[in-house]
Amino acid sequence: MLDLFPRSAQVARGELQLGGLTAAELAERFGTPLVVYCEETLRAQARALRAAVGDGGRVFYGTKAFPNVAVLRLLLEEGIGADVASAGELAFARAAGLSGPELVVHGNNKDEALLSDAAAERAPVVLDGAYEVELAADAGLERVLVRVTLGVDADTHEAIVTGHHGSKFGLPPAEAKTAVSDGLARGLHVLGLHVHVGSQLPDFTAQAETIRRLAAFAAECRNELGWEARVVDLGGGFGIRHHADEDVPDAVVLATSAVGTARAAFAAAALPEPVVWLEPGRSLVGRAGVTLYRVGAIKRLPERTWVAVDGGMSDNPRPQLYDARYTALSAARAEEDADDLVSVAGMHCESGDVLIDDVVLPTPRRGDLLAVPATGAYTLAMSSNYNGVPRPAAVLVRDGHARLIRRRETVDDLLALEP
Ligand SMILES: Cc1ncc(COP(=O)(O)O)c(C=O)c1O
């Protein structure tokens, strides 16, 4: 199970360590729930994905996975830009020192303010709707891509497929072609095309098919409009393992395949070799993050044993949204025999607030620390204050040092929102 945890994770003297610090000392110092990010894992994954696209290509972090200034800054140091999809995400990226070509701006409902911010940044924008062509020209945008939806239904949860027919994202091919020609007519520099098939993809099938269709569409654009896509942005979507039973191919291998498939498909269509952009979110930061929870109530019922922790759907709503499955390690009792099958419940007023349906732990005790791996992406980013619960803190660990990268909210923070 340690392979689900970040690279620096190890068990020493029966205790889980992350970045050279025991989970117990991190919990003691920063409180729980706590999301612990491993710097070594973040940097290693950033370097590997960067290498996968090669010198000409670019990697933009899908900021939505965890918008955080320290993480964005660290990834920038590794040569990674940011895909931002709102004024807020753009502000995080700017605060981290990203600008202009280090950014790519998304959104299926961008407003004028976001487009003029993008224009001021001279950041490329991915057009997602026909109406945006005029807005983009009015905002004074220079460089755009057009997001095309090629009708590929990826094998992932229905809430996170995006490239299917009828998707709220992107434009079907005929409309996308019109957006390209309208953009050119309005003097926009249309750099290329964008696709994003879905998230937590279990394999390369849907992406491979999308890339093949993308090359065919790019050839149509060349034949009918005399315009060639020089950039292909293949979005994000590479999955990660959250659970020992999950079998997901390595993101770096998939990224390499995506780049190779795009080049080969464009060459086969006699199109110039495209510059490939990728926008990984989950696969960049997911495995780097571990959430530490403190066990409170334990209820033994004939049907099952509930172990309640001090967080739940407010800090990680993925089990409710996508039927996500997690596992856990008893962090300070990591070498004790695990023979008690339990369910880990959150603390919220919903029966559906179950973090883990089944996990085998050493007989749980109040005060135990549970470490839930692969929780670096779409957890804090999707968190809420349900039940008036303040959001957890996040720390970055490395070589025995921990740095707070997001402070814990307080009840006063929540009250401060009330006029
Ligand atoms: C346009 C776009 N790019 C990138 C991503 C990041 O996806 P993932 O975290 O699955 O890599 C998303 C996620 O929804 C997206 O919509």
All domains in the chain, ordered by first residue: 2-31+288-415 (2.40.37.10), 39-285 (3.20.20.10)
The pLDDT value recorded for residue 200 is: 85
Taking CA atoms only, the protein residue closest to ligand 1 atom 5 is 236
Q: Ligand 1: does its nearest atom lie under 6 Å from the Cβ of 312?
A: no
Q: Ligand 1: does its nearest atom lie under 6 Å from the Cβ of 282?
A: yes
**Distance (Å) from CA 66 to ligand 1 centroid:** 11
**Distance (Å) from CA 240 to ligand 1 centroid:** 13
Nearest ligand 1 atom to the CA of 194 is 1
Q: Active-site residue among 349, 415, 416, 417?
A: 349
Q: What is the mean pLDDT of each run of 10 residues along the chain (419 residues)?
A: 96 97 98 98 98 94 98 98 97 97 96 94 95 94 95 71 78 96 96 92 88 96 97 95 92 95 97 97 98 98 97 97 95 96 98 97 98 98 98 98 98 97
The pLDDT value recorded for residue 161 is: 63
The pLDDT value recorded for residue 353 is: 98
The pLDDT value recorded for residue 169 is: 87
Q: How far apart are CA 410 and CA 196, in angstroms?
A: 37
H/E run at residue 48: helix 39-53
Q: Ligand 1: does its nearest atom lie under 6 Å from the Cβ of 281?
A: yes
Distance from chain centroid for Cα 153? 20
Q: Ligand 1: does its nearest atom lie under 6 Å from the Cβ of 62?
A: yes
The pLDDT value recorded for residue 302 is: 96
Amino acid in position 263: R
Identify which of 53, 58, 60, 64 to mutate to test ligand 1's pocket (most ligand atoms within 8 A of the CB): 64
The pLDDT value recorded for residue 381 is: 97
The pLDDT value recorded for residue 339 is: 94
Strand order in the sheet with 21-22: 10-12, 15-18, 21-22
Q: How far apart are CA 172 and CA 53, in angstroms?
A: 27
Which of 234, 184, 175 lies closest to 204 in space, CA to CA? 234
Q: How far apart are CA 234 and CA 206, in angstroms?
A: 12
The pLDDT value recorded for residue 305 is: 98
The pLDDT value recorded for residue 118 is: 96
Q: Ligand 1: does its nearest atom lie under 6 Å from the Cβ of 196?
A: yes
The pLDDT value recorded for residue 186 is: 95
Nearest ligand 1 atom to the CA of 126 is 1
The pLDDT value recorded for residue 160 is: 66
Alpha carbon separation from 239 to 37, 47, 212, 223, 321 (Å, rounded): 18, 18, 21, 35, 16
Q: Ligand 1: does its nearest atom lie under 6 Å from the Cβ of 194?
A: no
**Distance (Å) from CA 198 to ligand 1 centroid:** 7
Q: Residue 86 has which token pair?
A: 């709102």
Q: Residue 38 catalytic? A: no
**Distance (Å) from CA 281 to ligand 1 centroid:** 6
Q: Say what the pTM is.
A: 0.96
Q: Ligand 1: does its nearest atom lie under 6 Å from the Cβ of 294?
A: no
**Distance (Å) from CA 366 to ligand 1 centroid:** 38
Which of 197, 364, 202 lies closest to 293 in space, CA to CA? 364
Amino acid in position 65: A
